[in-house]
Amino acid sequence: MKTLALVLFVLWPFSLAAQENPALRRAGAAYRDLEYGQAIALCKQALRDRLRAADQERAYEILGFSFAALDSARQATDAFAQLVLLSPDRELDPARISPKITSLFALARAQVLVVRRIAVDSAHLIAGSQFVPVTFAVTRAARIQARIVGGGREVVLDSSRAEGTVRLQWNGLMSNGLPPTSGSYRLVIEASAGRDTYAASVPLRIEAGAVDTLAHLTSLEGYDLLPETVIPPRTWKPLALAAMAAGVVAGTSVALESAKLGGGGRRELLSVSLGTVSIGLLASLKRPAPVPAPANIRYNALVREQLARRNAELAMQNATRRRQVQLTIKPERRQ
């Protein structure tokens, strides 16, 4: 018994500086001094006063801890039940708190009906096409109804019996089938089980805007266009062709010369033949002209065809997107 009290004392999780109510402050001091009876009396006295919500939570916590220390399980559970109702998300660290106390706390939580750990992630979604997840936990089997309300409209996300962790999705549309306008909304979750009811809400900020359209593609990633012409290697073919042409013409001219008119005097032939060979040499030394690359041309045609097809698909998607609404959902701090 003393060991348990010592552990509770060492692991006492509260900050005394934040306690304003004098009776509550004295209750904390009595608990540290292992004067559990006095701590219980002071807490009850404090609870008869008008306490802030945070002080009420502390008062019921000290009560629960003190009753647990005195082995008053039922009263400890009642105090923890009040604590859970005031602070549904409150958790006790099992690594630091006695299992006796945490088990009593868990028992108390199972007895009350609360909705805990409500989570709505910040999200961007296209109304009607995408979903934003909503999760929460119900401590007991209950009929739950989750709604989003605001701007004079509402939509029911789910209405069914559930227990434990519940995962819902919202498609961004209100009950009239239209996306919400920009403004402040609330996610309201109501739970009812027999005569017990519980309601919790989370404020949401929703911004409605136009959906970004997709840019047309100018290239396909990983499929770059290839050069449609290639420069062939340098060749001496032009020089050979020029020399051959000059030789053919010179040979024909000489062969056609009339024997009666005499020979010699071929400066005209020699000058043009020399010029022809010179130009053949220049053409051989010149950088070759690019020539078409049929394989690359066919490949580029396929890539361009795919690009055109993809852009046609994007155009269709953009036509749809221009009719859609982009929602930005951001949970706000709870009041």
Interatomic CA distance for residues 171 and 194, integer angstroms: 31
Alpha carbon 329 to its chain's center: 12
Q: List Cα–Cα distances, 54 to 14, 83, 87, 249, 294, in angstroms.
A: 11, 10, 9, 114, 81
Interatomic CA distance for residues 43 and 56, integer angstroms: 9
Least distance between another protein and beta carbon 227 (Å): 17
- CB closer to another protein, 1 vs 256: 256
Q: Is 230 in the site for another protein (CB under 8 A)?
A: no
DSSP string, 197-214: EEEEEEEEEEEEEEPPPP
Q: Is 233 in the site for another protein (CB under 8 A)?
A: no
Q: Is 272 in the site for another protein (CB under 8 A)?
A: yes
Among positions 52, 74, 161, 266, the unique one binding another protein when judged by CB under 8 A: 266
Q: Is 232 in the site for another protein (CB under 8 A)?
A: no
Interatomic CA distance for residues 317 and 1, integer angstroms: 71
Amino acid at 50: R
Q: Is 323 in the site for another protein (CB under 8 A)?
A: no
Q: Is 241 in the site for another protein (CB under 8 A)?
A: yes
Among positions 249, 293, 307, 314, the unique one binding another protein when judged by CB under 8 A: 249
Interatomic CA distance for residues 207 and 182, integer angstroms: 4
Q: Is 276 in the site for another protein (CB under 8 A)?
A: yes
Q: Are the C-beta atoms of 232 and 147 separated by less than 8 Å?
A: no
Interatomic CA distance for residues 147 and 201, integer angstroms: 9
Among positions 175, 197, 252, 320, the unique one binding another protein when judged by CB under 8 A: 252
Q: What tokens appear for 29 in the block?
A: 């001091």
Of residues 73-102, those binding another protein (CB under 8 A): none
- CB closer to another protein, 245 vs 307: 245
- CB closer to another protein, 206 vs 246: 246
Interatomic CA distance for residues 209 and 172, integer angstroms: 12
Q: Is 208 in the site for another protein (CB under 8 A)?
A: no
Q: Which stretch binds another protein (CB under 8 A): 65-73, 142-150, 252-260, 327-335?
A: 252-260
Least distance between another protein and beta carbon 234 (Å): 10
Q: List Cα–Cα distances, 151 to 22, 96, 184, 273, in angstroms.
A: 45, 46, 8, 96
DSSP 217: P
Q: What tokens appear for 82 in the block?
A: 């009040």
Q: What tokens appear for 189 in the block?
A: 């979750």
Q: Which stretch binds another protein (CB under 8 A): 186-194, 281-289, 302-310, 321-329?
A: 281-289
Q: Is 275 in the site for another protein (CB under 8 A)?
A: yes
Among positions 123, 193, 226, 283, the unique one binding another protein when judged by CB under 8 A: 283
Q: Is 228 in the site for another protein (CB under 8 A)?
A: no
Binding residues for another protein, rule: CB under 8 A, are 238, 241-242, 245-246, 248-249, 252-253, 256-258, 260-262, 265-269, 271-273, 275-276, 279-280, 282-284, 286, 288-289
